[in-house]
Amino acid sequence: MRGDGLRIIAIIGFIVLLSMMTSPALADIFLYIDKEGVMHFTNVPTHYQYRVFLRERSSNTSKVRTSYKPDSNKYDHLIDTSSQKYGVDFALVKAIIRAESSFNPYAISTKGAEGLMQLMPETAMKMNVLNPFDPRENIEGGVKYVKYLLERFDHNLKLSLAAYNAGETVVTQNNGIPNYSETKNYVAEVLRYYKEYQSSSPKGTPGR
């Protein structure tokens, strides 16, 4: 046990040192321990079993890779498929993805939300998403959840978006959008992107 402890400490020290040497803009480090007990470290998690091991010290963002260069049209075919399947506006889904992750499939928030549509682990489980870092699974699960929220809040778009950000229970308890700056800003941001995508895409249809 003592030897294992020393090995872990040595690994932690090496990772911290490496992070400090490679760049002044440190990246979060993620850890996954496989069935054989082997520890895998990365700054770009490739599946849902990776968890934050070392948090970036100087980050002002909740996203995993601050240097990630998004392709805003890369996932349009997946958005289109899920939007048609669940009857949710293509432009709305794309607006949510832009606000949530800036089209970064490996984004993880400080609260633990993961992937393109920033699904919390419990939400991903409810929507049958096994790997939230898989764009197809994440988008389908996210769209399915948006559909659920729209139906729960009688297709009131603002309330549904507030629930996506703050949680459906909070919105229900407040009987409206909660007085959270983050949630208010989020709703306004998504609506702004939504309007933008509606004007540039024939798939968009107005929401309430």
> Could you tell me the residue range of the domain that residue 147 belongs to?
76-200
Q: Is residue 131 a part of any domain in this protein?
A: yes
Q: Is residue 115 a part of any domain in this protein?
A: yes
Q: Are residues 84 and 168 in the same domain?
A: yes
Band the pLDDT of 28: cuts 50, 70, 90.
low
Q: Are residues 30 and 93 in the same domain?
A: no
Q: Is residue 69 a part of any domain in this protein?
A: no
Q: Is residue 60 a part of any domain in this protein?
A: no
Q: Are residues 81 and 134 in the same domain?
A: yes
Percentage above 90 pLDDT, the chain: 58
Tokens 């984004």 found at: 107
Q: For position 158, which CATH number holds?
A: 1.10.530.10
- pLDDT > 60? residue 98: yes
Q: Are residues 82 and 8 in the same domain?
A: no
- Determine whether 100 is an active site residue: yes
C-alpha closest to that of 165 among 124, 207, 198, 118: 118
* Class of residue 81 by CB neighbours under 10 A (exposed 0-12, middle 13-18, buried 19+): middle
Q: Is residue 207 a part of any domain in this protein?
A: no
Q: Is residue 71 a part of any domain in this protein?
A: no
pTM of the model: 0.69
Q: Which position among 36, 56, 100, 168 bears the catalytic label?
A: 100
How many domains does the chain fold into? 2
* Overall average pLDDT of the 188-201 stretch: 93
What are 98's two structure tokens?
A: 């832009």
